[in-house]
Amino acid sequence: MKARATMILAITILSIPALSQATMYKVRICVKYVVDYDDAWVGDYWTDNDNDKIAFGIYARIIRHSDGHYMFDNYMDEDTGCTPEMWLSSSQQFDIYAWSKALVNNNYIMVKNHSDGTVYLQQLGYDWSPDDDKSYYFHYLEGAPSEDESYLAAASSYALHEKPGVVTGETLTVINDQCPAGDWNCNGSDGNVYISDQGRDNKYTIGHEIGH
């Protein structure tokens, strides 16, 4: 009887499926803007639309799905558009969000919706898990039809990253709409930059108005 019980126990143990082993990976989460500028061929930067653009200093949040813990909730690196290195488990799932705001060269950039005056929000990853030690890239898309906030955010952050001049400690607000006075694009009397649907697909139009 004892031998029979031992055999049954052995068979039972062998029949239990092996549990998957969780692995901790050292990763960075990075964001790039997806753009398709009409004037990409003009000038000496971003002369094609083949490569997505670094989201300099974009604000992002990484949430562990199991308990809602914020693994990261801050502005990303202003040169790489990435988080610092962090250890994430392969057995956990993570949600990744990004907003159309950034911190670049000690200046804040806010790209706002014309309808309610808030910054845009996109979910870039859902139930995502790492599978290697490396940098993972997520893409901030054009957004809702005809909104193209990624175009505005990309050109604005590039301008303040590459050519900030003496500007520091300021907040640049870019409104995704035409000027209150009726012009297509302008630097308004309220200090905000307004870019209409006639200008937001053009990197030089955005850069010109920011330069004012």
Residues contacting residue 11 through CB under 8 Å, at least 6 positions apart: none
Q: pTM here? A: 0.85
Which has the closest alpha carbon to 203: 143, 144, 171, 163?
A: 163
- Gap between the Cα atoms of 8 and 13, Å rounded: 9
- Gap between the Cα atoms of 155 and 204, Å rounded: 8
- Gap between the Cα atoms of 107 and 6, Å rounded: 71
For each of the chain's 212 residues, which pLDDT tens digit applies?
A: 444 444 333 333 343 444 457 899 999 999 999 998 888 887 777 877 778 999 999 999 999 999 999 999 999 999 999 999 999 999 999 999 999 999 999 999 999 988 688 999 999 999 999 999 999 999 998 766 557 889 999 999 999 999 888 889 999 999 999 888 888 888 888 889 999 888 888 888 898 888 77
- Structure-token pair, residue 111: 């790209």
End-to-end CA distance of the chain: 91
186: left (phi over 0), alpha (psi -120 to 50) or beta: beta
